[in-house]
Amino acid sequence: MAETNVQIQAVKNGPYIVKGAVELKDAAGATLPVAEPTIALCRCGHSKTKPFCDGSHKQAGFQG
């Protein structure tokens, strides 16, 4: 198996920033397309593009 270098950082009152080659799957096991080497995953639950962050945490006043 090839070695990977993935970093996940929780941004204060914001999303999870994921850097590196990842395979992202939904709850049903379907693979979601990941086109960029860095993605932001929603933590607040308000994003209209879940599981990806769309910045809704700012308007929602999310406190992480």
CATH number of the domain residue 53 falls in: 3.40.5.90
Classified as helix, coil or strand, 31 is: strand
> For the chain, what is the domain count?
1
Q: What is the pLDDT along the chain (64 residues), one digit of tens a residue?
A: 466 799 999 999 999 999 999 999 999 999 999 989 999 999 999 999 999 999 999 999 999 8
The three-class DSSP label of residue 8 is strand
Residue 11 included in any domain: yes
- Predicted confidence at residue 53, as pLDDT, reads 98
DSSP H helix total and E strand total for the chain? 1, 5
pLDDT of residue 3: 64
Range of the domain at 52: 7-23+31-60
CA distance 44 to 56: 8
pLDDT for 4 equals 74
Residue 61 region by backbone torsions, left for phi larger than 0, else alpha for psi between -120 and 50, else beta = left
